[in-house]
Each structure stands twice: as structure tokens, then as C-alpha cells.
Amino acid sequence: MTDEQQPDLRWAPTDPTPSNRWRIWLIVGLIVAGLVVAAVLVFLLLPRGGSPDPGASPSASPTASASPSVSPSSSPTAAPEPTMTPITTPPPPVDPTVEAFRGQVQVYLDDALVGLDIVSETSGDEALAVVATLEADAQRLAETAAPSTIAAEWGDALGTYAQRLTDLRDAVDAGRGVPAAVDAARDAAETLRDIVGL
């Protein structure tokens, strides 16, 4: 047959398969971490003032557990005492100083003079848009708490200013009497500026 020498075949054990222990530990660790995260979320999302009784649901459907049952145990169980959450009222608003109030309203009062100048130079829809902005600013001024030392005078002058803006809007709509309405609104805005010392 052939003169070549054939290799001698011998049986040898195969290499052991690599261990998957690290993968198993990784999966177990991820599961444990997920459970910890879920537990923390549940803890944070539960109400802290006490949990409602499981049998006392606000639903209108009758439940079988609503009837009292007598347990055969010899020791009575104490019902959990309801806890009252304290009702806190916000502290009364702090009366601002005139200087602080001036700082809050100055931008709106400055814009009022600029806006009235724009209305006197324009007409139609453009003027109406500026008047609407001035009315919105007047509403913001009304929502700002005035110091008690000037509150009554400020409220009266602000009401007059708001009325003058309404008259101005009507004049712009009608297309006549706009200069007189602008002057009246400007006088009312100047009165507001004088009250706060601008």
C-alpha cells in the first residue's frame, strides 16, 4: 500500500467548556438590583400619612369583606388608630415695601407709556393689539399685592387706568377720539407712576 507513515491516533479528552458562573452571577445581580429599585420606588410612591384600610374602598360596589367577622383567637387585635395629618395654613402674605413694589411694577408702568405712544402713532389692528397688551399688563398690575400704605390709593388709580384703557380700545375701534383717549390713559398711567414714586 503506501510507504508513508500514518499518524497514530489516540483518544484525548476535549477541552472543558468555559464556566458560565460569571454570567449567572451577573443575571442574579441584575435581578436583585431591579428588585431593590422597584422596592425603593414603591416606598417613595406610597402615601406617608398612613395607608387606608384595605376593606374601606371609596367604590360604590358592595364587597363580601364588609361584614364583620369574629375570629376564634383568644387575644383581641388592636385596631390601628387613625392619624391626623396637621392642616397647615400658609403664612399671611408679607406686606411689601414701597421700594420693592416699585421694582415689581416699574416695567409695566414704563411699558404703558411706550405702548400709549405706539397707539397714538398707529391705527387699526396694530393699535388694538397694543391696547390688548396694555390691558393684560393692567391685569398683572392688579394681581400684584400693593403695600398697605398705598393700597387704597393704588387700587382706585388702577381702576381708573383700566377704565381709560377700555375707553381707548373703544376709540380705536370707532376710529375717532383716539388722541383724547390716549391722553386720558397717559394721565392715569402717570398717576400710577406718581403713587409709587417713579
CATH number of the domain to which 158 belongs? 1.20.120
Q: Which of helix, strand or coil describes residue 37? A: helix
Give the model's pLDDT for residue 110: 87
pTM value?
A: 0.52
- CB atoms under 10 Å from CB of 9, counted, come to 6
Q: Is residue 22 part of a domain?
A: no
Give the model's pLDDT for residue 37: 93
Alpha carbon 174 to chain centroid, angstroms? 41
Q: Is residue 10 part of a domain?
A: no
pLDDT score of 85 more than 80: no
pLDDT score of 58 more than 70: no
Mean pLDDT of the chain: 78
Higher pLDDT, 111 or 72: 111
Q: Which of helix, strand or coil describes residue 150? A: coil
Q: Is residue 42 part of a domain?
A: no
The Cα 82–Cα 56 span in angstroms is 13
Give the model's pLDDT for residue 33: 95
Q: Is residue 59 part of a domain?
A: no
Higher pLDDT, 165 or 11: 165
Q: Is residue 126 part of a domain?
A: yes
Contact (Cβ atoms closer than 8 angstroms) between residue 141 and residue 153: no
Q: Is residue 110 part of a domain?
A: yes
Q: What total number of domains does the chain contain? A: 1
Higher pLDDT, 85 or 44: 44
Domain span at 115: 98-196
User: Within 13 A of 144's CA, how many CA atoms are on the CB side?
Assistant: 25
Element housing 22 (H / E):
helix 21-45
Higher pLDDT, 177 or 68: 177
Q: Is residue 119 part of a domain?
A: yes
Contact (Cβ atoms closer than 8 angstroms) between residue 178 and residue 119: yes
Q: Is residue 152 part of a domain?
A: yes
Q: Which long-range contacts (CB under 8 A, 24 or more apart) does 63-70 make?
A: none
Give the model's pLDDT for residue 79: 60
